[in-house]
């Protein structure tokens, strides 16, 4: 694991693929236990959560379904402050047990703007599972039910997360190198 360059920025190794998979597997075990007699619908928020969602599903033993939506608020290494819905929720969630899968929650703005849309459809229950949470950056508090990692307020890349479109394919997480 060494320093990598993506566009004009340098990144250093932060979390190995093994550590990530270990935490995702532990999360799946908790969800398997919590939902053993239910069939939840997972809502995976694209683009960043695709690897997290895929790996989580490999370890789920319960009956479950998944759908994907696209929300975005990032440009470069900073939140744009605007939440864009590119692909909306087209699955009926009324009366369903819902688990939202998100790659990272930092300011909380994206989910705080999306959650009212979900609640308006009256799900039976709603939980949030996140790979990464940046508590220091949270401006719009969101109740997170399942967290793999709490991390400092530094930009990260890899395992589905990108910097201007690149780096999503990296199997581990990298952190922006301090200049």
Which uninterrupted H or E stretch holds 14? strand 9-15
Handedness of CA 145, 160, 115, 66 (dihedral sign): negative
**Any catalytic annotation for residue 8?**
no
Q: What is the DSSP string of 15-56?
A: E-HHHHHHHHHHHHHHHHHHTTT---EEEEEETTTHHHHHHH
Q: Which of 55, 97, 103, 106 is catalytic?
A: 106
Q: How many residues does the chain have?
A: 179
What span, in angstroms and rounded, lies between the C-alpha atoms of 17 and 148? 13
Residues with a catalytic annotation lie at: 106
């Amino acid at each position: 694991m060494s320093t990598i360059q993506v566009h004009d920025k340098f990144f250093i190794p932060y979390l190995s693929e093994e550590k990530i998979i270990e935490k995702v597997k532990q999360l799946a075990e908790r969800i398997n236990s919590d939902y053993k007699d239910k069939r939840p619908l997972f809502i995976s928020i694209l683009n960043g959560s695709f690897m997290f969602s895929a790996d989580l599903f490999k370890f789920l033993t319960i009956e479950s379904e998944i759908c994907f939506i696209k929300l975005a608020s990032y440009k470069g290494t900073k939140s744009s402050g605007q939440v864009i819905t590119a692909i909306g929720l087209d699955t009926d969630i009324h009366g369903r047990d819902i688990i939202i899968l998100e790659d990272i929650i930092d300011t909380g703005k994206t989910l705080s703007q999306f959650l009212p849309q979900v609640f308006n459809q009256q799900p039976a229950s709603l939980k949030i599972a996140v790979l990464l949470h940046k508590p220091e950056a949270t401006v719009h508090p969101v109740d997170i039910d399942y967290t793999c990692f709490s991390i400092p307020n530094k930009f990260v890349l890899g395992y589905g997360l990108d910097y201007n479109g690149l780096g999503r394919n990296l199997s581990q997480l990298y952190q922006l190198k301090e200049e």
